[in-house]
């Protein structure tokens, strides 16, 4: 069995894995009810699904003797930005109180996510001038 055949099978497996994760993430985005659970599905598609598709492109380009620098840069960008953007979207949902808030921490008073005055209305800005 030559390396070209092994690479072809590896590309096929990566494409199938990427397609399955993309399908499951799309279904999860439609089926989940609240924003916090709905956020979970597309972040997995962004990391695992797109990562598998880019890995398939990298393997295919490598077998053809072409460079894979673009795919590596795209994969690095996605793996860095997807968790950060998901974290920011989750924090926005917590601050706007559009989801169930987690229980208060036991002894830690500096927990930054919900460290806001109780009298402040959601979405209102306080100007200290």
Structural domain boundaries in the chain: 3-95
CA torsion, points 85, 83, 43, 54, in degrees to nearest 10?
110
Write down the pLDDT at residue 114.
56
Q: What is the pLDDT of residues 27-75, one digit of tens each?
A: 888 888 877 777 777 777 778 888 899 999 999 998 888 888 888 898 8
Q: How far is CA 76 from CA 5, 8, 49, 66, 70, in A?
A: 28, 24, 14, 19, 10
58 contact partners, CB below 8 Å, separation of at least 6:
68, 71, 72
Assigned token pair, 98: 């559009």
97 contact partners, CB below 8 Å, separation of at least 6:
122
Is a pLDDT exceeding 90 seen at residue 8?
A: yes
What is the share, in percent, of the chain residues with pLDDT greater than 90? 21
pTM: 0.67
């Amino acid at each position: 069995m030559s390396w070209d055949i092994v690479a072809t099978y590896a590309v096929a497996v990566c494409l199938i894995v990427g397609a399955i994760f993309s399908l499951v993430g799309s279904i999860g985005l439609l089926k989940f009810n609240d924003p916090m659970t709905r956020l979970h599905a597309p972040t997995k598609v962004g990391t695992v699904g797109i990562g598998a598709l880019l890995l398939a492109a990298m393997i295919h380009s490598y077998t053809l003797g072409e460079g894979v620098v673009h795919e590596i840069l795209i994969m690095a960008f996605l793996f860095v930005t997807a968790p950060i953007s998901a974290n920011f979207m989750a924090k926005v949902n917590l601050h706007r109180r559009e989801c169930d808030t987690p229980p208060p921490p036991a002894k830690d008073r500096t927990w930054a996510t919900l460290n806001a005055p109780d009298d402040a209305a959601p979405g209102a800005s306080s100007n200290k001038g």
